[in-house]
Structure 1
Amino acid sequence: MKKITDYENKKVLVLGLAKSGVSAAKLLHELGALVTVNDFKQFDQNPEAQDLLTLGIRVVTGGHPIELLDEDFSLIVKNPGIPYTNPLVEKAMSMALPVLTEVELAYQIAECPIIGITGTNGKTTTTTMIGLLLNADRKTGTARLAGNIGYPASEVAEEASAEDDIVMELSSFQLMGIKTFRPKIAVITNIYEAHLDYHGSRDEYVKAKWAIQENMQESDAIVLNWNQQELQELSKTTKANIIPFSTKEQVDGAYVLGGKIYYKNDYIMETMELGVPGSHNIENALAAICVAKLKAVPTDIIRQTLMVFTGVPHRTQYVGEIKGRKFYNDSKATNILATEMALSGFDHSSLILLAGGLDRGNSFDELVPSLKGVKAIILFGETKDKLHKAAVEAGIETIRLTENVQTAVQDAYDFSVKNDTILLSPACASWDQYPNFELRGEAFIQAMNQLKDIEK
């Protein structure tokens, strides 16, 4: 990492722990800062704070006392999950105290190029694809995944050498806390309405996403989804070199024409050869191909890599087959849009959909067009009655209500025949029955594996 001196003997407040906060605190401590960590969780239930204390880092736990700001800090490094409406954050900003996120620190110490990926949907899949493509035929260095994908950016940047690339998934929350952050290549997969409870308005959400290119120059490249008029308009305001991708028209980047994928007129592969289904995954692949080509990855390596990529866990992930029935885990589909995208990748006449979960008060009228033609639907959780109504409106003949994901797998298999597909794509959050979407997806996989053992 770069040995910077910017933080030597400066008082820095790290607000909120979790993985990124711990990494930021340790890095700042190593860089000579006088670090105070403040976390809401009580000390006796806070192993992260206990660990930092043993390193000689000051910790304040059990709340976010505004009085901390009387201590003349030079800046705050904030956990992305803490909203800007937090009283301590609001007070800091009124004092013109810089409030950064950990990805800014990562950029400041990184010796290698950063490829930043953001968007409403597809970030993790696209980030994973890019990492695989850049490592597939690599002779020196490594493409290292970082950021919102689960590896603290500052920790990865500290370990990376000049020969590496950091492929960094970035949320809107993280991008709100940047100052000098400048990726060599940026990707915006798409922009839809999301996280309005955090950002307050769609305009503020879009502004946060678009911040990824704030410091980019003509020698940098930004990969944009040309299917979205909004991104076409925003592209007029960036200094970066624009590389578009589209499934709808031929562009000066990656595009689909007649079921074939091209990059700047060079044939890459058939869309049907992609290892993951769905129109959204074609878009993700196009974005990843743009980055791979910018990094001079050969076409045959791109094709081979994307053919065998079967998805990120819980995101339209192929998980197995039982007597001719294929199973896909899309537990990450916690909203209607994500399920619509998943449904677009399958033949509805042989598709059995498993859906349901936390009731957030919305109806499922928007989902009805995407449900039409689905062979059967198995519903569970708080929203099963609302989804039942949508399924009836869509004309689905076989609708079954069940207890949870585990029983849904059994019900779906009992109804299925050879060559059917059983897809978990809930269109809802998991919190009514499962602590998170990952555990819901694991329950689906476990139920399938138990069924496989029985059906041997």
Structure 2
Amino acid sequence: MKNVNQFKGKHILVLGLAKSGFAATNLLHTLGAKITVNDASPEGDNNDIAELRSKGIEVICGGHPSDIMEKGFELVVKNPGIPYTNPVVVEALRKKVPVWTEIELTSCLSEAPIIAITGSNGKTTTTTLLYHMLNIGGKQPLIAGNIGTVSCSVAERASEENIIVLEASSFQLMGTETFRPKIAIWTNIYDAHLDYHGTPEAYRSAKANITKNQTQDDYFIYNDDQSDLREFAAQTSAMTIPFSLQGRKETGISADDEWIYWNGEPFAKRSIIKLPGQHNLENILSATAAAILMGCDKAAIEDVLSSFTGVRHRMQFVKELQGRMFYNDSKATNTLATKSALAAFTKPTILIAGGLDRGHSFEELRPFMTNIKAVVALGETAEKLSEFAASCGIVDIIQAKDVKDAVQQAYPLSVEGDIILLSPACASWDQYSSFEVRGDQFIEAVMELK
């Protein structure tokens, strides 16, 4: 960690405790700041609160006092999930008090170069792929952000010998001012999180913060197959590295049916790749480009390409049973992610889907339903999904009470050679506390099948 004095004696409000708030509070306290923590949840038996108070840190729980910004704070560090419509955030911005998320702290403090990955889809897979490439290549990577440890905690222990591989959401990137990764990766852009950002333009603007402060000494890896991202690439000061699935390109990284190319030269054969799906090829290209730029040797990259079969809960191969292949894609919490999953398979597929009803349509999935032989619907959207499946000409449609019941009902519908895929196209919160819990129940149910 860099030796910095910019926080010493500063009066800082940490808004929202949770994992990132707890980490940011401890770090800022170590750096000599005067901290107040404010969390909307009741105090309960939270051990973190007791630990913070034992250090002399003020903690206010159970709501956001309307006058809290009258305490003279010079900086607010907020939990990424707290919207900018929150009254405390609104008042802070009115008073022209900076409002950060903790990845801004990471940028201020890290001695290690940062590779930041964002995108509407593919962030976690790209981050994991890149981490493994760098790790096998002896580059001492540390994984951080949405996928791992809170990034400012990683920055605290990182040295110049490390590389921080950071998954960054639009929520996190919106709360940055000087954040500057050595390499920025933008996998793709689709409309998402509009309930938080308000407009597609605001969402894109938040994402664009990943490259806003980059210079000609940095790299920006982007999806050249998307016109929106080509426009953002034209605005960056960084060296641009395009990736494309549209055949061999003379610059950047690209792919055709046989090869991955680096600056127009064959680099690795497509046939060694184990991870299924065109959308995952995007992730592979962007991760490979970053690994090459960081000096990873080809053998390390090919080792990962030939062995990596997926991130837990994201197109994760679970098991083969009597010729049926089970895949856990619980992280597919929207139709865009499920569309990518369906496009990855050409074999007959039994789709387990459904969950929290946010009022969205399943219509985007229609062109990808041709290989679906049966649908098992669950959650709040079970009826809506069943009606949609019937309109696609699917005859075998079952409604299940939960994921475990869905697996038990899906298996008898299958024959040897079929895919049984959990890809809900919906958030989990109607029945499960997280998509991880939902995916874990799927894995457990598959393992129990005889």
Q: With structure 1 as the length reference, what TM-score do the two structures score?
A: 0.96
1:142 matched residue in structure 2: 140
Partner SS state of residue 217, structure 1: coil
For residues 54 and 342 of structure 1, what CA distance do their matches in structure 2 show?
48
Instruction: Please point out which of 434, 437, 443 is paired with 1:436.
Output: 434
Structure 1 residue 135 displacement after superposition: 0.6
Deviations 1:136-187 (Å, cap 9, x if unpaired)? Answer: 120xx51001112131011000011110000011111111111111100000
Partner SS state of residue 27, structure 1: helix
1:399 matched residue in structure 2: 397
Structure 1 residue 45 displacement after superposition: 4.1
Structure 1 residue 218 displacement after superposition: 0.4
**Contact 1:354–1:379, Cα closer than 8 Å, also in 2:** yes
Distance 1:385 1:42, change over 3 A: closer
The list of structure 1 runs, each at least 4 consecutive aligned residues, that deviate by more than 6 angstroms after superposition, is none
Matched, 1:195 2:193: yes
For residues 201 and 361 of structure 2, what CA distance do their matches in structure 1 show?
24
Partner SS state of residue 213, structure 1: coil
2:169 matched residue in structure 1: 171
Where do 1:38-117 residues align within 5 Å?
Answer: 38-117=38-117
Range with greater deviation from structure 2 (228-237 or 59-68): 59-68
**Contact 1:188–1:223, Cα closer than 8 Å, also in 2:** yes
For residues 440 and 267 of structure 1, what CA distance do their matches in structure 2 show?
41
For residues 174 and 260 of structure 2, what CA distance do their matches in structure 1 show?
34
Range with greater deviation from structure 2 (7-16 or 41-50): 41-50
For residues 127 and 52 of structure 2, what CA distance do their matches in structure 1 show?
30
2:341 matched residue in structure 1: 342
Structure 1 residue 47 displacement after superposition: 2.8
For residues 394 and 16 of structure 1, what CA distance do their matches in structure 2 show?
45
For residues 325 and 190 of structure 2, what CA distance do their matches in structure 1 show?
30
Partner SS state of residue 372, structure 2: coil
Identity over the aligned pairs, expressed in percent?
49
Range with greater deviation from structure 2 (400-409 or 265-274): 265-274
For residues 47 and 41 of structure 2, what CA distance do their matches in structure 1 show?
10
Matched, 1:10 2:10: yes
Q: Unpaired runs of 5+ in structure 2?
A: none
**Contact 1:368–1:393, Cα closer than 8 Å, also in 2:** no
Matched, 1:228 2:226: yes
- Give the residue type in structure 2 aligned to 1:345: A
Partner SS state of residue 164, structure 2: strand
Range with greater deviation from structure 2 (399-408 or 307-316): 399-408
Structure 1 residue 61 displacement after superposition: 1.3
**Contact 1:357–1:382, Cα closer than 8 Å, also in 2:** yes
**Contact 2:141–2:163, Cα closer than 8 Å, also in 1:** yes
**Contact 2:125–2:283, Cα closer than 8 Å, also in 1:** yes
Range with greater deviation from structure 2 (53-62 or 376-385): 376-385
Question: Aligned Cα RMSD in Å?
Answer: 1.4
- Give the residue type in structure 2 aligned to 1:172: S
- Give the residue type in structure 1 aligned to 2:107: Y
Deviations 1:33-89 (Å, cap 9, x if unpaired)? Answer: 111111112223433222211122111111111322122111111111111111111
For residues 258 and 191 of structure 2, what CA distance do their matches in structure 1 show?
29
- Give the residue type in structure 1 aligned to 2:98: P
2:132 matched residue in structure 1: 132
For residues 214 and 100 of structure 1, what CA distance do their matches in structure 2 show?
15
Structure 1 residue 381 displacement after superposition: 1.9
1:320 matched residue in structure 2: 319
For residues 115 and 434 of structure 2, what CA distance do their matches in structure 1 show?
28
Distance 1:42 1:432, change over 3 A: closer
**Contact 1:7–1:32, Cα closer than 8 Å, also in 2:** yes
**Contact 2:372–2:394, Cα closer than 8 Å, also in 1:** yes
2:215 matched residue in structure 1: 217
Where do 1:351-366 residues align within 5 Å?
Answer: 351-366=349-364
Partner SS state of residue 427, structure 2: coil
Q: Unpaired runs of 5+ in structure 1?
A: none
For residues 390 and 71 of structure 1, what CA distance do their matches in structure 2 show?
54
Range with greater deviation from structure 2 (416-425 or 388-397): 388-397
Distance 1:398 1:260, change over 3 A: farther
Deviations 1:226-264 (Å, cap 9, x if unpaired)? Answer: 110001111111100000001124331111123322222
Where do 1:207-356 residues align within 5 Å?
Answer: 207-251=205-249, 252-348=251-347, 350-356=348-354
Partner SS state of residue 144, structure 1: strand
Range with greater deviation from structure 2 (371-380 or 155-164): 371-380
Structure 1 residue 389 displacement after superposition: 2.1
Deviations 1:411-437 (Å, cap 9, x if unpaired)? Answer: 221121222211111111112222211
Partner SS state of residue 80, structure 1: coil
Q: With structure 2 as the length reference, what TM-score do the two structures score?
A: 0.97
- Give the residue type in structure 2 aligned to 1:395: G
For residues 268 and 419 of structure 2, what CA distance do their matches in structure 1 show?
25
For residues 364 and 270 of structure 2, what CA distance do their matches in structure 1 show?
27
- Give the residue type in structure 2 aligned to 1:418: E
Distance 1:431 1:226, change over 3 A: same
For residues 94 and 228 of structure 1, what CA distance do their matches in structure 2 show?
36
Partner SS state of residue 19, structure 1: helix
For residues 125 and 334 of structure 1, what CA distance do their matches in structure 2 show?
15
Structure 1 residue 272 displacement after superposition: 4.4
The size of the alignment, in residue pairs, is 449
1:33 matched residue in structure 2: 33
**Contact 1:384–1:401, Cα closer than 8 Å, also in 2:** yes
For residues 35 and 164 of structure 2, what CA distance do their matches in structure 1 show?
26
